[in-house]
Structure 1
Amino acid sequence: MTTTDVLTEERDSALHVTFNRPEARNAMTWEMYQALADAAVRADEDPDIRALVLRGAGGRAFVAGTDIAQFRGFTGEDGVAYEKRIDEVLSVLAAVAKPVVAIVDGHCVGGGLGIATCADVRIASPTASFSVPIAKTLGNTLSASTLRRLVRTFGEPRVKSMLLTARRVDAQEALVSGFLTAVEDDLDTAAEQTVASITGGAPLTQWSIKENLRRLNSSDPVKDADVIASVYGSEDFAAAVESFLSKTPMEWRGR
């Protein structure tokens, strides 16, 4: 799906996705959610893309939740369908095998925070903030799947206080909690350096870490022999051993 409300650009071996409704603080429409899912699939399937970078336009917000106008006339059944759709989009984003980076400048609210939880690396400006103020605004709720994502990234006690009191977490608290990787004044430079670190690394190692962490989050017993065999049996690993021993530069090929 194509929409000017979500811009995509392939640059520096990364797919950069910009939520582009600054006049609405990048509040998500149904079309924008679909465009995000499409971008996630594109990043996963294109061998030339090594990372997916998410950012909001305008400097006021990463994403200020879902566009509230879309909730007019909602029934209970509509709410179930909506939360199911959000779960589907976030699941696609969380399943991307390549590193996902969220660059947060300004407010990261509701559905925007859900999107940010699916990133592997989160970098924010000092003025960034994080909240799900539904107990004060719409009086709606979250699916158990979305709650689980929040708890895994923020911790249950903090998530409870955020949701029950509708409080906002600032960048410093998010950094201390471990949710953020860094707080930076110069987000452009921080994004470039992070992408360079990712694209200079071993793609199969990055995939294996994400895949085994995904399996650890399941209630099923963890079986990892296939992942380990794929990495140790790869051309990249064999070449890297020789490169290390001969002290020559290594060029990662992802196979």
Structure 2
Amino acid sequence: MAIDLEIKDQIALVTINRPERMNAMDADAYHRLSEIWQEIRDNRDIRVSVITGAGDKAFSTGADLKSFLGNSTDLGDFWLTQRGQLLNRGIEMWKPVIGAVNGYCLGGGLTLLLATDIRFATPGATFGLSEVRRGVLPGNGGTQRLIAQLPHAIAMEALLTGESFDAETALRWGLVNRLVEHEDLLETALTTARRIRDNAPLAVQATKELALRSRDVDLPTGLRLEESLLKLLRYTKDAVEGPRAFAEKRDVEFVGE
């Protein structure tokens, strides 16, 4: 299939599997990816996910433009805002997502990466949003997330010139957490996923939601939301298990309840 999903030990590994097309995604791939995000969101046996691209040349170069050429559009689809939700197109995903970039990360590949929480890349990775060079704009959050995650002038240069930039630049700008050699990339991402998986899952999801929502509310409102969720978490089994395991000097066993 164009998008592969493997679930093991409460970690979901999502692989964009079209290496012959630089992991560009056609309509079927986008549909499958939407289904996978819903599965990760709703499956309580999944606590964290990793997304990467097959092969050693590309994470994803975004939409497979050749597959969309000549397709007519229906303006009525514009108001179907909940159809085909993706990580970067509005689905509310409070489980952490880790990106592992193994090559070209362009267009929709970069807008997808911008919706992840933690990111690793190979030293040879290349990033960019070139949509303005093709008469369109970087949709699915490109204009929204890049300006929120990078300094204004840097984000505007990338958006308005459409020029690509290398992995060292992405690291310097804070777009990725770390550069990792290709042979270590996936294991580095999975090791981080395991560290997150071993924490209390409801606390992890609450923390991610609060961190993301804080961008859209004032500080007093954010503090109040934080206080509310903290009180709510104290009624969970995991909030009892954590201190108890520490006091008894044993491994903690979180159940997500």
Does residue 46 in structure 1 map to residue 48 in structure 2? no
Query: What is the rounded CA distance, in whole Å, between the counterparts of 2:232 and 2:89 in structure 1?
Result: 23
* Structure 1 counterpart of 2:188: 190
Q: Which of 100, 109, 113 is the equivalent residue of 2:110?
A: 113
SS at match of 1:252: coil
- TM-score, normalised via structure 2 length: 0.87
Does residue 20 in structure 1 map to residue 26 in structure 2? no
Does residue 98 in structure 1 map to residue 87 in structure 2? no
Q: Which of 153, 157, 178 is the equivalent residue of 1:157?
A: 153
Which ranges of structure 2 fall in alignment gaps of 5 or more residues? none
* Cα RMSD for the two superposed structures: 2.7
CA change 1:130–1:85 in 2 (3 A) is: farther
Residue 103 of structure 1 deviates from its aligned partner by 0.6
- TM-score, normalised via structure 1 length: 0.88
Residue 219 of structure 1 deviates from its aligned partner by 4.7
More deviation in 63-72 or 219-228? 219-228
Q: Does the 8 A contact of 1:41 with 1:92 survive in 2?
A: no
CA change 1:167–1:112 in 2 (3 A) is: same
* Structure 1 counterpart of 2:247: 245
Number of equivalent positions = 251
* Structure 2 counterpart of 1:215: 213
Q: Does the 8 A contact of 1:64 with 1:110 survive in 2?
A: yes
The correspondence of residues 64-79 of structure 1 with structure 2, limited to 5 A, is: 64-73=61-70
Which ranges of structure 1 fall in alignment gaps of 5 or more residues? none
Q: Does the 8 A contact of 2:23 with 2:59 survive in 1?
A: yes
Query: What is the rounded CA distance, in whole Å, between the counterparts of 2:122 and 2:91 in structure 1?
Result: 23
Q: Which of 230, 233, 244 is the equivalent residue of 2:232?
A: 230
Percentage of matched positions with identical amino acids: 29
Residue 74 of structure 1 deviates from its aligned partner by 6.1
* Structure 2 counterpart of 1:201: 199
